[in-house]
Amino acid sequence: MADSRPGSGSRPEGGAVPVSRLPERGRVVCDGHIESVTYMPANQNAAFTAIVTDLDVPPSGGKPAPGAGRRLRVVWLGRRRVPGIEAGTAVRLEGMLAQSHGLPTIFNPRYEILSRQEHE
């Protein structure tokens, strides 16, 4: 999973980088939490989109930590839902980072759920 090429800068050995430290593009592994998800209407092509921010940014409209706040869009094409991906979930994502419509974006990333927000 690690990219050992010199200058890849995607993550330190053995860990993921926060969303705020992602490079402009390339293969990355990052940790963050799902801030929001978007469901596409049935009359549009299937795609499930989530916005991811750093783990230290509160998910419920709280004040972000200093220096935090970079957002990452992840898009699963051909899917209407992704099991376990919902607002408040902490995730580790891996994929090719590109710029799309002004936001860093990963299409069809690998993902690992790190924790979930408890519902009352």
Q: Is residue 12 part of a domain?
A: no
Q: Is residue 28 part of a domain?
A: yes
Name the nearest CA neighbour of 71 among 86, 94, 51. 51
Q: Is residue 8 part of a domain?
A: no
CATH of the domain at 61: 2.40.50.140
Return d(Cα 95, Cα 50) in angstroms, integer: 14
Q: Is residue 9 part of a domain?
A: no
Q: Above 80 in pLDDT, residue 21?
A: yes
For 75, the domain range is 17-115
Convert the pLDDT of each residue in 88-102 to its tens digit: 999 999 999 999 988
Three-state SS at 26: strand
Convert the pLDDT of each residue in 43-96 to its tens digit: 999 999 999 999 775 555 555 454 445 899 999 999 999 999 999 999 999 999
Lowest mean pLDDT among 1-10, 33-42, 54-63, 93-102: 1-10
Q: Above 90 in pLDDT, residue 105?
A: yes
Total domains in the chain come to 1
